[in-house]
Every structure is written in structure tokens, then in C-alpha cells.
Amino acid sequence: MAVISNSDLSTLRNTLNTILNGTGVAGGYNQSHSVTANPAAGDTIDDAYQDSLFSAAAKVTNYYNITNPLTAVNAGDVIDDNQYYNHASTLNSSLDTRFNNPWDYSTGWDMTTATETTETVANWNGSHNTVTRVQFGSEADMNAWFSAGGEIRISMSHNDTSDNQQGTSWEQLTSEMGTYRISVRPTDTTTVTDSIRKKYSDLTTSYVEIKKENADDGDYSSNYASIEAYKSGADIYVRITLNDAHVAKSGSGSGYGGPWSWTGADSVPGTSTVNVSSLKLSNSSGSVNITNPTFTVTDSL
């Protein structure tokens, strides 16, 4: 009987088990996928152990869209080093890197992007906000979904064809908001004017402003767009506000690129659009499967 001592293989088994069956914030995908325990010293390594590693590696590599270097072992087969042991360290490193840094890799995984909700408002003034409820089946599902690279993405735009300065200012403002992400990635900064992402587990149980952008144009610098969010059990609420605080001058005069005059109410010409989208699991057969959240508009823009 040959004596096999391979710590790389046992490390790989533990990594696969953590990825597939771990729970909690950034803890794993909660798959309830059986991964046979490492044999103790002196135990016989049978094909069931190898098959367990192969099955677990196939599920994770399918999800990560990378090649599984392990091969299936049938009863009675002689296990060749090249089937498992020679690949263990490299595969473990590849899986561990992806698991711990999904934001660098997840766009190439077994995932898809989708626009979940779209709200618009045209020729408006004052303050308008919309609320989207992101509902998970459970907190365990929420943790697994974000751990697996799921993201909530918020973006906005404005379209004004009249070349009105106020409309142009809103085009600039909404463009500079960019795409804001709520994910498992650590929060970048608490300075809301600079922030581009928020770690979901950092959200509190009441609304907190996580992003704000003011207009660059000095005439409209009091205008802003903001994002607030909070977490309640297995739900995340996202509130997006468009606030046109600018008040039109009265009468007439010159400036603003030419002569001006106002009659009637001050208004933002054109259409403002707010999108909430997601990077979510495709849930393909043989891959990691986690129930995706539902997105519901509870307050319209």
C-alpha cells in the first residue's frame, strides 16, 4: 500500500468546502453541497473522496468560468498524480483569489446583468424621490448572494434637447453620479461626494446618505442627486432623490450665455431617468445556485 501525504489536497478540500458551504458576511455560498472530510493519517483514500473533490471543484469552476483540472475517478482506477495532486496548489490559489475578491472577477462568472427598475420624470422642479425594495428570501440568502459577487447598481441620466442651461446642468450632474454599487466589497469612503461603493453589511437599520452629487454650474450648485439606503432583516431599501433647489430669477437681464427672462414656474426641461440594476446569478445547471432577490418600486419618482 502506498503512503500518500499531500497537504495541498487537504487545503484544496477545505477551500472548496468554505466556498460552497460557508455562511455569513463574505463567508460562502451556503450550497449544502457535501464535501467529504479529509482522511485522517493512516486512513485509506478511496474513490469516494476523490469523487467528492471532483464534484465540488466542478461546481465552483463552472461558476467561476474556469477549467476544472481534476478528473473523475472510477472505482478500481489507479489514481495518477496528474489527476489531482499536481493541480491542487494552483487550483486552490485560483479559487481562493476569486472567492476573496469577487469584485475583480465576477463580471466573467456565471452571472448576468439586468435592469431591475426604471423610473422617469419629465419637465419637473422641486424634489423627487423613488424607493426600491430589494427583497431576499432570508438573511442567509442575502449573505450568500453578495458573497458570490451579487451587486445592486444605481445609475441615472438626464436628456434635454433644448440646450437649456438648467437641463444641461442636470445632464452633467447625473452623468457624474456614475454607477454606484452596493456589494460585499469594502466601503471605499464615508465622504459621500467621493464614494462609489458601499458594503451591504455596513448599512444601518435607518436611511443613511451614501452618495451625493451637486451640480458643477455655479448658477445651479444647490441642485443635487443623492442615494440613501438601509437594511431591514432580509430587505434592503434604496432611496434616490433628485432635488432641483434652484429658484429662477425674476424679470429679465443678461448673462447665462445671453439675455434671459423668466415667466411662470422654474422647471427642469427634459427627462430624468433613474435605474436600479443588478449583477446576479444565472443559476445554470451544475453551477452555484442562489435565489436572486426581487426588486420592487415602492415609491415612484
Q: Mind giving me the DSSP string for 215-237?
A: -SSGGGTT-EEEEEEEEETTEEE
Structural domain containing residue 110: 106-299
Using CA atoms, how far residue 154 sits from 119, 133, 162, 178, 273, in Å, is: 12, 13, 26, 8, 11
Domain stops at, among 56, 85, 100:
100
pLDDT in tens, 66-125: 999 988 766 656 565 556 667 888 999 999 999 999 999 998 999 999 999 999 999 999
Q: Do the beta carbons of residue 290 and residue 148 sit within 8 Å?
A: yes
Same domain, 135 and 160: yes
Residue 132: per-residue pLDDT: 98
- CA dihedral over 41, 44, 50, 53, signed as positive or negative: negative
Q: How far apart are CA 27 and CA 56, in angstroms?
A: 17
Q: Give pTM, 2 decimals.
A: 0.89
Same domain, 64 and 194: no
Q: How far apart are CA 117 and CA 159, in angstroms?
A: 18
Quote the number of domains for the chain. Answer: 2
**Where does 107-219 show beta strands of DSSP type E?**
111-124, 126-135, 151-159, 180-183, 197-199, 208-214
Q: How far apart are CA 203 and CA 142, in angstroms?
A: 13
Q: Which three cell numbers, joined as nine digits, stand for 82?
A: 496528474
Is position 1 within any domain? no
Is position 2 within any domain? no
Same domain, 156 and 189: yes
Is position 266 within any domain? yes
The burial of 265, by beta-carbon neighbours within 10 Å (0-12 exposed, 13-18 middle, 19 or more buried), is given as exposed
Residue 78: per-residue pLDDT: 57
Secondary structure class of 208 (helix, strand, coil): strand
Residue 4: per-residue pLDDT: 44
pLDDT in tens, 147-170: 999 999 999 999 999 888 889 999
Is position 193 within any domain? yes
